[in-house]
Structure 1
Amino acid sequence: MKILNKLAPFILVIFSFTGGLSACETKRTVENSSVTSSTENTTTDNDTIQVIQHNTNAVQELKKFRDWVNQKASKVDSSTNENLPEMQAEFKRRTARLEKGLDSLSAEAKAEYKAARAKYKIWEEQNKKRTSQPLKAAEIKKRQAQLLGEYKNLNTITAANVREAYLIFMGAVRARKHNWNQNDWDYVDYVYRQLNNRKGEFETTISSADKLKIKSLQAEYLALEASQDAKDLLKTVRSK
């Protein structure tokens, strides 16, 4: 008993030391567990961020593609057909980028992509068909008389009267546009481009006021033409 009494302080110290060591080991295990959990969460978060980023990139590419198709599909004329090989190559590049991220898009976005592709293909087919048919000289002459009146002979247009020529042209377009089909618009666009070419021959001598008015008339014409092309394309898409 005396021996135990004498050893009691030492036993207490040893017990306290081993107890403290056990507590440290338990705490260390918790810390390791905590670190492991944090690492796992970080990995998961990174994966999630990458998926979101990939999805965001695909959505942005889809928006760019849709805007590009809408821009191209708003114009159908001979100059467009001349640049068609470049447009076809650009179409392939854009669709290739989108195809890589297609799985990350929603069902709605995939449907939108499919519709944009179809719209481009229809526009391309439509453009080839229209521009493959040459305009007839006799019809051009007839249209110039309808659209330009007294300025049907382009050589009579000068810096002094070019504004008036555009006013007459746009007046005829506004009055007749409701009855025109795609073929009519092709002839109208040809006359419009010829008028622009004539203006370009004496551009520097046109007054600033006349230039400003002509630009507003040109913008109006292009808006009307684009709107008609869009309606015709939409009608074709719906009929498919």
Structure 2
Amino acid sequence: MDNKTFANQFLEPKRTGNLIQDLNPLTKLNVFLIFGLSAFFVGSFYYSFGMIIFLLLLAAFARCFGSFLKVYWKVLLMFGLFLFAIKAAFAPGETIIWQKWGIHITVESIHAALLLASSVCAFCGAVIMFAQTTEWSSLTYALEKKGVSHITSFAILSSLQTISDLGVNARVIMDSQKARGIETEGNLIQRIKAYIPVMGPLILNAISSVEEKSIAMDARAFSAPGKHSMLVDLPEVTIAEKTFAILVDVLFIAAVVWRIVSWRI
């Protein structure tokens, strides 16, 4: 690649070649948030389970199925099964299936448990899907183009990156502990004992990274007055993309209105 080709690639909007990943970050935020919230307003566990299947297919289409499922199956186990068990055991109902030790499992409680667990899992899946298909830097840049202060967008980006950086640093420190022959696996107590010594280096690394970021910000004239420039631009929002987002919003509003009317009736 010659110098001219290398320079020209920064003049073109940032694209991945995937329809979902190339959507504007704010459009994806709007659409996926509505996908998740719709599970609560439709009020049918068939719809919620269908939304979960739809998100899995969407993840495969967006070429992030592996990373999406790696996170999502933990949510299904942690929140889905837990909420289902608690709701099914203690929710009120008349048609009793099994009862003992104060636990009353009824047909009505199972129905309520399926609705709650599936709705929460669908919402979590939509949030995870947004995180898997969106770069945080692109999201904050899209917010800046809408008028958000660059200080606010940097605070959001820095907070999100700090969370991921802490996870990466923790894994690096744990691996170094393993290389020294320190037991880091086993039961819960052993894992807690192994993780306590990690907290010191982890906090020190976080403090040092703050200083490094402040130096980098000064070097890039972050606090200088005037309009800030970006190395890579985002693609323009097409008419089809705007139409799709508006259609999703209208359908969601219709679902909310229908739900409110059905409650009153």
Per the normalisation by structure 1, the TM-score is 0.25
Greater relative contact order, per chain length (Cα 8 Å cut-off, separation 6+): 2
Per the normalisation by structure 2, the TM-score is 0.23
